[in-house]
Amino acid sequence: MSLDLNQATSEDIRERAAIDRSVRWPVLFFFTSAAAWLAVATLLGAVSGLKLSLPRLWESCPAMNYGRLFPMHMIALVYGWAMQAGLGVMIWLMARLTRNELKNSVTIIVAGHIWNFGVSIAMLAVWFGFGRSMPWLDFPAWIAPILFVGYLMTTLWLVPMFKARRAGEVYISEMFLLGAAVWFPWIFATSVLLVGDDGSAVMSAGTNGWYMANLIFLWFVPIGLASAYYLIPKIAGRPVYSYPLAKIGFWSLIILAPWTGFNRFIGGPFPAWIPAISGAATILLLVSVLATAINFWKTVKGDSKAKLWENSPTLRFTMFGALMFVMYGVLGALSSYFSFSKVLQFSHFVIGLDTLAVYGVFSMMIFGAIYYIVPRVTGCEWPSGKMIRTHFWFSTYGIGTVVLTMLLGGFAQAGQMNQWDSSFILSVEVGNRWVVGRIIAWLLITFSNLGFFYQLALMFFGRGRRTAGATLMPESAH
Amino acid sequence: MSDTQEKNLDYEAEGGSVVDVHDAVRREKILPPTGQEPVSFSPIIATIIVIILGAGYFGAYGNFFRDDIYISSFYQPEPRPAGIGGDEGGDKGPWIDQWLAGGKRVYGQCAACHQPNGGGLPGQYPPLTGSEWVHGGTERLGAILLHGIQGPLTVAGQSYGTIPMPPWNALSDEQIAQVITYVRSEFGEMKDDPKAIVTTEMIGAARDKFSGKAGSWTESELLDIPADAMLPGAEVDPQTGQPVGGGEDAAAQ
């Protein structure tokens, strides 16, 4: 490591080390338990795909039905893995950005246990048949308060941290983090109260769509972007290209995102303007996507000679997540159009799009953050760069396979569904050929994560590499 | 190498000097102050294009926030195969054929969930084919169409989840009558059975009867309606659509 102007002062370094030490256990708790849920989620992804592909399998066992396995897969992926890992990143990032040591690590670890308890109960409830067919809110409503309490006990501490920040301009990541922290209680409470057996039946389905879109755009995306806005300039050693552009990305996201979601039911039994306004908001969100993409691109572009994105796992995962964010934004805008949605609306494609948001966009950015954070809080380095490379490439192949096969499979399935005189089972059969792609994809992702779990476990027990120097991804073969 | 190793080992020690701090923290660069580049020309142009797209989209599909338009005029459903439904004009044939064709047109809105062939989606949307709710009396069907269903419902021995069936009371009496006739004839295996036919008058009666009903039906409420209860109204002649024989009396059964 050569000395340059970006090198921190010794006071900075000591402060950082103290902050990292203060958040060590809560962050590690969230990361490791999230990783455990990810293992469950990826396996359930493959098994539920298998069940969909071979409907006769385990026919007599209700607990092994697709109708239970798939919601469990999503609960484990969204609440077990994604949100929990996101909470870990939030705590570390907020402590670092505001330069505050965490004083409530015990409360947060307790909160983490409450959250995990809630997720476990939710999984079991769905498994034993107490689920509801509301995607991402499949668990019975009485479990929601457990998750709610776990969440609040964790994120409440971000507010005093933010208030005790150093004077000066609020960094863009702080805005995203604080926003995400307060938006989740709002969208979660609203949806849990409105989705269910009482109240308007149609609006219940609509609210469910709104919840999914908002969990993505107002929680997953802001946290992913907060992490990217911190890590990209840190690693590249270059300032974020433009603060005004970042602010456009932030404000357009938070103003438009709450309008999205109803376009999931475009052409459904709503007054036409409701899905239309959601569709228009999803299209307008491209402003945010574009502003963010340009900003990231211009930040790393000048760095081409160092080829940091080739070697740094963090930068690679984060930039890939940002790329997938653009793809998700474009596909989301496309699916707001009638001509696209009247074909793909109720097909496998929707599942592919949700998977892209949770795994392709958010999880990849979070992997980037984890590869950055864990060495700092544990004091040892990732043991193997090759394993990280495997993790990256097989995750990439996996998410690529999901999106591609679900898009093509969606077209094939919907083509049959939309023919008036075609038998329904034909559309199932045609779609199922592509569901094989989903099984393969989740197996690839499961495989890619094996190395990640192994390394994370080593790091957790302090068995990482003790020598100096970052663990880089060896790409010299290319 | 061993030198560095030693330095890193005492990371845990409190209040160590800088060299004791783990390498990951030590090699870390500072977070550079954010650049203040003004937004350049091309993103502004791109933003304007996106805004035009979004506004145009809402202009086309939004119907100026009107609450009574459910399907935008810009939405063109997939073309139907020739010979089924549609407006053929000319000699329209027997009344029942037109009535069923009208029902088929209305059924286009049901087909999104119940599928064009009435088979439903396993585990999500109950089938109409072979459903006891379809080929029984007409009163239950009328009640369901007017107020919708919420909560679990057992259809043909299978329990269906909680995707609710919305009320379709925004449709006209004639449209509801047509679609029920169509569903009973096509999926209730009652083709050419006069009992399959439901008239506008019958739906009008159902509207009056259930006008006090708040919210959607639950399974137990629906089961309270006798399975063979028919909506009151005159039976009609399938050829002409005119009431037959005893007229009003036939309704009382």
pLDDT in tens, A427-459: 888 888 899 999 999 999 999 999 999 999 999
Residue of A243, A296, A380, A424 to mutate when probing chain B, most B C-beta within 10 A? A424
Domain with CATH 1.10.760.10 in chain B: 95-243
Per-residue pLDDT of chain B (253 residues; tens, 9 = 90+): 334 433 443 333 334 444 456 778 778 888 888 888 888 888 889 999 999 999 999 988 888 888 888 877 776 666 665 555 544 444 557 888 888 888 888 888 888 888 888 888 887 888 888 888 888 888 888 888 888 888 888 888 888 876 888 888 888 888 898 999 998 888 877 877 888 888 888 888 888 888 888 888 888 888 888 888 888 888 888 887 778 765 444 444 3
DSSP, collapsed to helix, strand or coil, labels residue B243 as strand
What residues have CB less than 8 Å from A11, skipping those under 6 apart? none
Nearest-Cα residue of chain A relative to residue B75: A338
**How many other CB atoms are there within 10 angstroms of residue B161's CB atom?**
18
**How many other CB atoms are there within 10 angstroms of residue A413's CB atom?**
27
B65 or A34, greater pLDDT: A34
Cβ of B158 under 8 Å from any chain A Cβ? no
Burial of A208 (0-12, 13-18, 19+ CB in 10 A): buried
Q: Does B123 contact A67 at a Cβ distance shorter than 8 Å?
A: yes
Kindly state whether residue A317 falls inside one of the protein's structural domains: yes
Per-residue pLDDT, A327: 95
Tokens 């059924």 — which residue?
Answer: B107
Instruction: Specify the DSSP class assigned to residue A196.
Output: S
Using CB atoms, which residue from A201, A290, A423 is nearest to B166? A201
Per this entry, what is the length of chain A? Answer: 478
Interhelix angle A144-155/A172-194, nearest 10 degrees: 160
pLDDT band of A270, cuts 50, 70, 90 = confident
Which residues from A are below 8 Å from B26, CB to CB?
Answer: 13
Task: Indicate whether A468 pLDDT > 80.
Answer: no
**How many other CB atoms are there within 10 angstroms of residue A384's CB atom?**
19
Each residue's pLDDT tens digit, A313-331: 999 999 999 999 999 999 9
Name the nearest CA neighbour of A322 among A369, A258, A257.
A369
Instruction: Specify the DSSP class assigned to residue B236.
Output: B
Per-residue pLDDT, B253: 39
Per-residue pLDDT, B113: 85
Task: Indicate whether A474 pLDDT > 50.
Answer: yes
Task: Indicate whether A395 pLDDT > 90.
Answer: yes
Each residue's pLDDT tens digit, A327-336: 999 999 999 9
Cβ of B51 under 8 Å from any chain A Cβ? yes
Overall domain count for chain A: 1
State the first-to-last Cα distance of chain B, in angstroms, to the nearest integer.
Answer: 97
Name the nearest CA neighbour of A389 among A447, A292, A311, A327.
A311
Dihedral sign for Cα atoms in the order B37, B42, B43, B48 = positive
Q: Cβ(B203)–Cβ(B134) under 8 Å?
A: no
Using CB atoms, which residue from B1, B5, B26 is nearest to A13? B26
Per-residue pLDDT, B21: 67
Per this entry, what is the length of chain B? Answer: 253
CA distance A46 to B190: 43
Residues 173-202 of B with CB under 8 A from A: none
* Per-residue tokens: A106: 């015990």
Per-residue pLDDT, A475: 63
Say which CATH superfamily domain B95-243 falls into.
Answer: Cytochrome c-like domain (1.10.760.10)
Per-residue pLDDT, B18: 45
Q: What is the domain-level CATH number for residue A195?
A: 1.20.210.10
Kindly state whether residue A470 falls inside one of the protein's structural domains: no
Per-residue pLDDT, A424: 83
Residues 110-129 of B with CB under 8 A from A: 111-112, 115-117, 119-124
Per-residue pLDDT, A2: 38
Name the nearest CA neighbour of B104 among B88, B123, B124, B122.
B88
Range of the domain at A199: 16-460
Kindly state whether residue A348 falls inside one of the protein's structural domains: yes
CA distance A231 to A132: 39
Using CB atoms, which residue from B70, B121, B123 is nearest to A269? B70
Which residues from A are below 8 Å from B129, CB to CB?
Answer: none
Kindly state whether residue A477 falls inside one of the protein's structural domains: no
Tokens 């094989």 — which residue?
Answer: A436
Q: Is the ipTM of this complex over 0.90?
A: no
Nearest-Cα residue of chain A relative to residue B39: A245
Using CB atoms, which residue from B28, B112, B161 is nearest to A132? B161
Which residues from B are below 8 Å from A27, CB to CB?
Answer: none
* Per-residue tokens: B3: 């030198």
- In angstroms, what is the C-alpha Rg of chain A? 22
